[in-house]
Amino acid sequence: MIKKLSELSQMAKSKATQRLVVAAAEDNAVLRAVKNASENGVITPILVGDTTRIKELAAEIGFDLEKIHLHEESNPAAAAVKAVSLIRNNEADVLMKGNVSTGPLLKAVLDKENGLRKGGTLSHVAFFQTPYYHKLLCVTDAAMNIAPELEDKVHIINNAVDAFHRLGINSPKVAVIGAVEVVNPKMEATMHAALLRTMNVRGQIKGCEVDGPLALDNAVSKDAAELKKIKSNVAGDADIIMLPDINAGNVAYKALSFLGGGLSAAVIMGAAVPIVLTSRADSEESKLMSIALAAAME
């Protein structure tokens, strides 16, 4: 059980230092996070982008670039391609989004010949530390898949489970969330949840314990589960909550961040390496923890 995101930094430091390559690194907030991660011994940075602007921004924040590899590429989309190529050539281990739009970055990642495809669906995996829960809680998918079908949801679960396995947690508990905790043929999310649970029982989804449908209160509160007479190893003790679509996922992510006192760390899973893709609204600490999360997984 991991209770605090700071444990991720310690895990990252205990492993071989990961080489983090930033695509289009000319971004003040990203450089601050990379500076902090580098100074804390979490990663070794590699910066791709407009090197003149990178040096200007680094000087403003006191980031010494003397021993850091810089690669000139002023076009953000081309910088993403270059960053991906460094990983493919085993010159970097983790990818981070800088001052480049998500579309061009993912286009470089998903390129069939020169990208980092692994065969499945990419998904957003966010770990939250909140004072209202007894351990880290993973929320997926809040950013990538708009209206996932059943097969997509299998990949989304597998990606989140892979993240836990990489952190040394061998059998995470997955709560598949719906508005209610009973199967209702008129509510697709509950039908998907029941099928996902069955697939887990039959060994089609492995390395975790899946239950659903569960309403959110039942997934994270044993008292709520007991009041509704739900008997489940997952209820009240979920490690992962899988939301039915991007609307629910995004609302849950932002509610935890802005109303629930949550600190988050998030990556994109499903590619050959973790991808750090933070929001401008994320705090500086969350950006640092996202880098630590990716580094701790390798």
Domain coordinates in residue numbering, the chain: 6-118+271-297, 123-258
Tell me the percentage of the chain whose pLDDT exceeds 70.
Answer: 100
What pLDDT is attached to residue 284? 82
What pLDDT is attached to residue 173? 98
Give the pLDDT band of residue 282 (cuts 50, 70, 90).
confident
Burial class for 165, CB neighbours closer than 10 Å (0-12, 13-18, 19+): middle
Q: Tens digits of per-residue pLDDT, 194-227?
A: 999 999 999 999 999 999 999 999 999 999 999 9
- Average pLDDT of the chain is 94
Q: Does domain 123-258 have CATH number 3.30.70.1230?
A: no
Tell me the percentage of the chain whose pLDDT exceeds 90.
Answer: 89
What pLDDT is attached to residue 283? 81
Q: Is the pLDDT of residue 280 over 80?
A: no
Note whether 108 and 115 are within 8 A (CB).
Answer: yes
What pLDDT is attached to residue 204? 97
Q: Tens digits of per-residue pLDDT, 55-105?
A: 999 999 999 999 999 999 999 999 999 999 999 999 999 999 999 999 999
What pLDDT is attached to residue 5? 92
Q: Is the pLDDT of residue 281 over 80?
A: no
What type of residue sits at position 79? A
Note whether 208 and 172 are within 8 A (CB).
Answer: yes
Quickly tell me which residue has 């209202």 as its tokens.
Answer: 132
Residue 15: half-sphere exposure toward Cβ, Cα within 13 Å: 22
- Least Cα distance to 219 among 117, 104, 137, 121 occurs for 137
Note whether 170 and 178 are within 8 A (CB).
Answer: no
What pLDDT is attached to residue 278? 82
CATH code matching the domain that covers 6-118+271-297, chosen among 3.30.930.10, 3.10.129.10, 3.40.50.10950, 3.40.50.2000: 3.40.50.10950
Give the pLDDT band of residue 279 (cuts 50, 70, 90).
confident
What pLDDT is attached to residue 298? 73
Burial class for 7, CB neighbours closer than 10 Å (0-12, 13-18, 19+): middle
What pLDDT is attached to residue 16? 87
Angle value at C-alpha 241, between 235 and 242, nearest 5 degrees: 125
SS (H, E, C) the chain: CCCCCHHHHHHHHHCCCEEEEEECCCCHHHHHHHHHHHHCCCEEEEEEECHHHHHHHHHHHCCCCCCCEEEECCCHHHHHHHHHHHHHCCCCCEEEECCCCHHHHHHHHHCCCCCCECCCCCEEEEEEECCCCCCCEEEECCCCCCCCCHHHHHHHHHHHHHHHHHCCCCCCEEEEECCCCCCCCCCHHHHHHHHHHHHHHCCCCCCCEEEEEECHHHHHCHHHHHHCCCCCCCCCCCCEEECCCHHHHHHHHHHHHHCCCCEEEEEEECECCCEECCCCCCCHHHHHHHHHHHHHHC
What pLDDT is attached to residue 239? 98
What pLDDT is attached to residue 76? 96
Q: Is the pLDDT of residue 244 over 90?
A: yes
Q: CB within 8 A of 12, min separation 6: which ones?
A: 18, 42, 43, 292, 295, 296
The stretch 10-28 carries a mean pLDDT of: 93
